[in-house]
Structure 1
Amino acid sequence: MRPDSATTASRPQVVAHRGASEEKAEHTLGAYVAALDAGADALECDVRLTADGHLVCVHDRNLRRTASRRGVVSTMELADLAELDFASWKNPWADLDDEAPERDEEHDRVLTLRKLCEVAADYDRRIEVAIETKHPTRYSGLVEKRVVEVLRDFGWDRAGTPARVMSFSFTALQRVERLAPEVPVVMLMERAQYWPALRRVIGKDWLVGPGVEELADHPWLGPRITRAGHGMHVWTVNTREHLDLCLELGVRAVITDRPAYVVRELGA
Structure 2
Amino acid sequence: MQVVAHRGASHDNAEHTLGAYVAALEAGVDGLECDVRLTADGHLVCVHDRDLRRTAQSRGVVSTLDLADLNELDFAAWKNPWADLDDEAPDRDESLDRVLTLRKLLETVADFDRRIEVAIETKHPTRYAGLVERRLVEMLRDFGYDAPGSPVRVMSFSFTALQRVERLAPDVRLVQLLDKPQLWPALRRVIGPHWLVGPGLQTLRENPKLGRKIAKRGHEMHVWTVNTADDLELCERLGVTAVITDRPSFILETLGRDYR
Shorter-normalised TM range: over 0.9
Q: What TM-score, normalized to structure 2? A: 0.98
Distance apart, 1:98 and its partner CA: 1.1
Q: Deviations over 1:31-52 (max 9, x none)?
A: 0000011111101000000000
Matched, 1:169 2:158: yes
Q: Structure 2 stretches of 5 or more lacking a match? A: none
Matched, 1:65 2:54: yes
Distance apart, 1:218 and its partner CA: 1.1
SS of 1:267's equivalent?
Answer: coil
Q: Structure 1 stretches of 5 or more lacking a match? A: 1-11
Identical-residue share of aligned pairs (%): 74
Q: Supply the AA of the counterpart residue of 1:123.
A: F
Measure, in 1, the Cα distance between the counterparts of 2:64 and 2:100.
17
Q: 1:7 matched to which residue of 2?
A: none
**Aligned partner (choices 181, 187, 193) of residue 182 of structure 2:** 193
Q: 1:79 matched to which residue of 2?
A: 68
Distance apart, 1:219 and its partner CA: 1.1
Using the TM superposition, name which of 255-264 and 211-220 deviates more: 211-220
**Aligned partner (choices 185, 205, 210) of residue 216 of structure 1:** 205
Matched, 1:254 2:243: yes
Matched, 1:144 2:126: no
Measure, in 1, the Cα distance between the counterparts of 2:186 and 2:166.
20
Q: Deviations over 1:50-80 (max 9, x none)?
A: 0000000000000100000111000000011
SS of 1:175's equivalent?
Answer: helix
**Aligned partner (choices 184, 195, 218) of residue 206 of structure 1:** 195
RMSD: 0.7
Measure, in 1, the Cα distance between the counterparts of 2:189 and 2:126.
26
Matched, 1:123 2:112: yes
Measure, in 1, the Cα distance between the counterparts of 2:213 and 2:142.
37
Q: What TM-score, normalized to structure 1? A: 0.95
Q: Report the count of equivalent residues.
A: 257
Give the 4+ runs in structure 1 shifted more than 2 A: none
**Aligned partner (choices 216, 219, 234) of residue 230 of structure 1:** 219
Distance apart, 1:149 and its partner CA: 0.7
Distance apart, 1:267 and its partner CA: 1.1
Matched, 1:242 2:237: no
Measure, in 2, the Cα distance between the counterparts of 1:91 and 1:237.
23
Q: 2:6 matched to which residue of 1?
A: 17
Q: 1:183 matched to which residue of 2?
A: 172
